[in-house]
Amino acid sequence: MIIGISGENCAGKTTCAQYLIKKGFHCLSLSDILRELLKEENVPITRENLIKKGNEVRAKRGWGALADIALKKIPSHSNYVVDSIRNPAEVDRLRESGRFFLFYITADPKIRFERMRKRGREADPNSYELFLKFDRMEMEGKEGEQNLLAVKEKADVVIENNASLDEFYDAIDGALSKVSKEFRMRRPSWDEYFMQIAHVVAGRSNCIKRKVAAIIVKDRRIISTGYNGTPKGTKNCSEGGCPRCNSFSESGKDLEQCLCSHGEENAIVQAALHGIAIKGATLYTTFSPCLLCAKMIINSGIREVVYEGQYPLEEKARQLLEEAGVQIRKLERG
């Protein structure tokens, strides 16, 4: 794909291009093409001379001439940024490639003027009035000249850059996701996010039959975690600590012989141990609760249970939870 970048002076075009380069794009600037032409003619490189040279090239070679030059330099197998697009004919010509999208970067004039002053280029306008004069030259040019207003109308995405750099980067990421599935961000839902964390917690389990974990969440913050295994200070199940598990008893049978605590049980007990209130919280568990854990969930004040895997004795536990007014639902992954 080719991302074209246009916008007002000091709006953030170069910053946008540099950010895209970090994402694997190559960069080509139409202004650099003009700079090369000015160097060949030994003409000083100033903003005014760049504007004049650009208008001159368009008048002699066609309004999309700079885009033609750029397209000859861009291979078909790479993602490219084309910076400093200032004429609508250049946009039209680049669109003919079939893989072009235009980002227009804008910002408040006073913010842009302060950015220009900070960069300290000798050829930059030395007053706000002169800065606005050059702005008008670029924004309202005649046909075939620089005309940013006409370019802006052709933009796929307009990005405002009046705030922090991080917010600007976020806006660029959002623009990429709008124009290309390749850069579309897939964020997990809160349910997916917390369940994925529960699976990480399950990795600490010492039970040899099944690794299960639960996390307790309140206001989208994890306040307690627990995984299944033998009680604290006793021999781990994986070291022979639980005779039932180590004899590989049939699921759901001889539970009274099992020395392992369940993930939900441990999450609730850990919260109690550390004095953490869990009333009104949500419990995420990698397996649906057993009957014992369901009773603990009800009495602890947990309001919702989200589970993924199906526990063999799930139905009785579900009925009890529903009777007590605890919401219970299975996480369905898309």
Residue 80: what pLDDT?
93
Mean pLDDT, residues 247-255 taken together: 67
Residue 300: what pLDDT?
96
Closest CA to 71 of 96, 54, 47, 51: 96
Residue 257: what pLDDT?
77
Tokens 């602890």 appear where? 300
Distance between CA atoms of residues 283 and 303, nearest Å: 8
- Is 264 annotated in the active site? yes
Distance between CA atoms of residues 319 and 25, nearest Å: 56
Which residues, other chains included, contact 132 with Cβ-Cβ below 8 Å and sequence gap of 6+? 109
One-letter amino acid identity for 185? M
- Please give the full DSSP string across 108-132, using - where no structure is assigned: -HHHHHHHHHHHT-TTS-SSHHHHH
CB-CB neighbours of 288 under 10 Å: 24
3-state secondary structure 181-249: HHHCCCCCCHHHHHHHHHHHHHCCCCCCCCCCEEEEEECCEEEEEEECECCCCCCCHHHCCCHHHHCCC
Q: Which one of 8, 138, 145, 264 is the catalytic residue? A: 264
Mean pLDDT, residues 147-159 taken together: 94
CA distances from 208 to 23, 141, 202, 228 (A): 44, 75, 12, 10
The yes-or-no verdict on residue 334 having pLDDT over 60 is no
The yes-or-no verdict on residue 151 having pLDDT over 90 is yes
Mean pLDDT, residues 81-103 taken together: 90
Distance between CA atoms of residues 10 and 188, nearest Å: 36
**Buried/exposed 42-70: b ≥16 CB within 10 Å, e otherwise:** eeeeebebbbbbbbebbeeeebbbbbebb
299 compared with 177, residue with greater pLDDT:
299
Burial of residue 195, with CB atoms counted within 10 A of its CB: 0-12 exposed, 13-18 middle, 19 or more buried: buried
CA angle (116 as vertex; 112, 121 as ends), nearest 5: 160
Summarize pLDDT for 33-65 with one digit per residue, the tens: 888 889 999 998 887 888 888 888 888 888 888
Summarize pLDDT for 7-19 with one digit per residue, the tens: 998 999 999 999 9
Distance between CA atoms of residues 148 and 327, nearest Å: 56
Mean per-residue pLDDT over the chain, rounded: 88
Residue 296: what pLDDT?
96
Look at 129-143, 222-236, 286-300 and tell me which has the smallest mean pLDDT.
129-143
Residues composing the chain = 334
The yes-or-no verdict on residue 123 having pLDDT over 80 is no
The yes-or-no verdict on residue 140 having pLDDT over 70 is yes
Look at 36-45, 212-221, 289-298 and tell me which has the smallest mean pLDDT.
36-45
Residue 258: what pLDDT?
86
Element (H, E) at 100: strand 100-106
Residue 295: what pLDDT?
96
Mean pLDDT, residues 279-301 taken together: 95
Q: Please check whether residue 328 is in contact with residue 282, taking contact to mean a CB–CB distance below 8 angstroms.
A: no
CA distances from 293 to 243, 253, 315 (A): 21, 16, 13
Distance between CA atoms of residues 144 and 159, nearest Å: 25
Which residues, other chains included, contact 170 with Cβ-Cβ below 8 Å and sequence gap of 6+? none
Element (H, E) at 293: helix 291-300
Q: How confident is the model at residue 324 (pLDDT cuts 50, 70, 90)?
A: very high
